Amino acid sequence: MNPTLSSHAPAPSSKTRKLVISPACLARYGLLASDLSTQSTQVQPSHPWTAPIPAVICNIYCRCAHYQEEDSPQMRSEEEGGEGGEAEGVIAKPLTNQQIKHREYKARCRKEKRLKANLNLSGVAHLPVHISNPNPNAKIRFFDKSFICWADQSRENIIAVVKFHPFSTMDPALKSQYQRLSQHLIAQSTYQNPNQSNGPQYAGKMYSLGWRKGYETASKIGTTGIAAKVAKDPDGYRQLQTHVPEKNTFIGERFYSVSGPLFEEVKQQHNALNAPGLEPNFKEDPNGFTCHLSFTISNFANTPHKDDDASPFSFVMWIPIDQTTGNLIEKDFAVQGGEFVFPDDSCGINFAGFNGIVECAWKATEYSHLTLPSHTPSNSLHTRMGLSCQLPKKTKEALQKIKNNYYLNHPTKSHWGIRDMNKIISDSAAYNKE
């Protein structure tokens, strides 16, 4: 369980610094003014449907300029910043023509290098850039348009590539594919229970699709689906799985569109394991790039963490939907908050006011990240679905063992099987369908 601020903070005193959040922003998180007026060290929302906010999240709020009472100066794009100059009060010596030309040449070379790095990684040369700022007290810079986050000025180590796709300019066919994907995932959730083992999570629900190391006795690896729930509609479950290959292909295309090089690196790992795709029949998929994804709904939020999985890079997309049907919400989206933040790098994604899809590829195992709390009116069914593709370590180990015939040659495990769609449907027959 993730402790809330009240369980870790020191006792209040006259010297305790109160959390300063603009009253105009309180509604974004389901908070009332009274939630802050009497609490100097904790934020416990008054609304019963809002989860307690952990201490570390409150600390991150204090680093977000648009949550403070004071107006903070607008942060400039790294591309707009200069290279530094003379110290204040020092009169610079006049430059010779040769020195001026040399500086201009160096500036052109730097710009060309930057644009080339952006183009090679994302397919777009002119994207706003954020260079990681590891200062733990630095203000967090939020983006509401596509951008790239580099670890340093060398442009050799990438943290994230983020692309915004507004509905207003989106091809109708592409929009339809996003909706079919979100509808499909909502349908998949009816045959599962929410994941209860995601440590950083403290709000919302998480589900999955694809293959994981088998938890059942004598199982090498298994796909998603609970036999007791499948028993209520086995034909519906079987029919739903026939659409998984289409979703598998679409998600791969979206990942590639964000960053071809990062996609290819993940695909290379996938192919080296002779891994299957997301579809529930275990067979090698050389055209695929992932065999597992997680998806979240219901105002999901978590604390800062680095993923503990085997993927060189993760791919995520955020889709505004009605959580009962999976239908896209193209305007008047009621969810407030829920920004995605890289706290150790002082940047994040701001979804406020944006009607569309956001996609991101990033190195989730090396760079800390989190989803801030969000709030939806009690009578609203809107949610921001988050979909993330990654390879769990235990799944990778199971795939490696299958490839190396570990189970086949093992004296006591040679009879172990694979829990695929047919096995789940077969097991479901044992349950009372009422």
What's the CATH code of the domain at 358? 3.60.130
| 211 and 392 Cβ atoms separated by less than 8 Å | no
pLDDT digits (tens, 9 = 90+) for 331-353: 999 999 999 999 999 999 999 99
Kindly state whether residue 357 falls inside one of the protein's structural domains.
yes
How open is the CA angle 416-266-220, to the nearest 5 degrees?
5
For residue 68, what pLDDT band results from cuts at 50, 70 and 90?
A: very low
Q: What percentage of the chain carries pLDDT values higher than 70?
A: 81
For residue 142, what pLDDT band results from cuts at 50, 70 and 90?
A: very high
| Higher per-residue confidence, 109 vs 249 | 249
Q: What is the pLDDT of residue 109?
A: 82
Q: Which of 394, 412, 388, 414 is nearest to 207 (CA)?
A: 388
Q: What is the pLDDT of residue 251?
A: 98
For residue 126, what pLDDT band results from cuts at 50, 70 and 90?
A: confident
Whether 212 and 344 map to the same domain: the answer is: yes
For residues 337 and 339, give the distance between their C-alpha atoms in angstroms, rounded to a whole number. 6
Residue that finishes a domain, picked among 24, 49, 67: 67
Residue that finishes a domain, picked among 29, 52, 67: 67
Q: Is 291 helix (H, G, I), strand (E, B) or coil?
A: coil
Domain range for 319 is 162-428
Q: What is the pLDDT of residue 107?
A: 81
Domains: count for the chain:
2
| 354 and 330 Cβ atoms separated by less than 8 Å | no
For residues 106 and 128, give the distance between their C-alpha atoms in angstroms, rounded to a whole number. 21
pLDDT of residue 92 exceeding 90, the answer is no
pLDDT of residue 124 exceeding 80, the answer is yes
Residue that finishes a domain, picked among 51, 67, 83: 67
Question: What is the rounded average pLDDT for all residues in the chain?
Answer: 84
Q: What is the pLDDT of residue 429?
A: 93
Kindly state whether residue 96 falls inside one of the protein's structural domains.
no
Q: What is the pLDDT of residue 94?
A: 84
pLDDT of residue 103 exceeding 90, the answer is no
Mean pLDDT of 84-110: 70
Whether 168 and 278 map to the same domain: the answer is: yes
Q: What is the pLDDT of residue 157?
A: 93
Q: What is the pLDDT of residue 434?
A: 52
pLDDT digits (tens, 9 = 90+) for 277-336: 999 999 999 999 999 999 999 999 999 999 999 999 999 999 999 999 999 999 999 999
pLDDT of residue 60 exceeding 50, the answer is yes
Kindly state whether residue 310 falls inside one of the protein's structural domains.
yes
pLDDT digits (tens, 9 = 90+) for 199-232: 799 999 999 999 998 778 899 999 999 999 999 9
- Which of 21-25, 113-117, 427-431 ranks highest by mean pLDDT? 427-431
DSSP string, 368-384: -BEE--EE--TT--EEE
Q: What is the pLDDT of residue 12?
A: 35
Q: Tell me the whole-structure pTM to 2 decimals.
A: 0.83
How open is the CA angle 271-274-277, to the nearest 5 degrees?
80
For residues 245 and 393, give the distance between their C-alpha atoms in angstroms, rounded to a whole number. 23
% helix, strand, coil for the chain, step of 5: 35, 20, 45
Whether 229 and 371 map to the same domain: the answer is: yes
Kindly state whether residue 272 falls inside one of the protein's structural domains.
yes
Q: What is the pLDDT of residue 207?
A: 96
Mean pLDDT of 21-29: 50
Q: What percentage of the chain carries pLDDT values higher than 90?
A: 65
Kindly state whether residue 211 falls inside one of the protein's structural domains.
yes
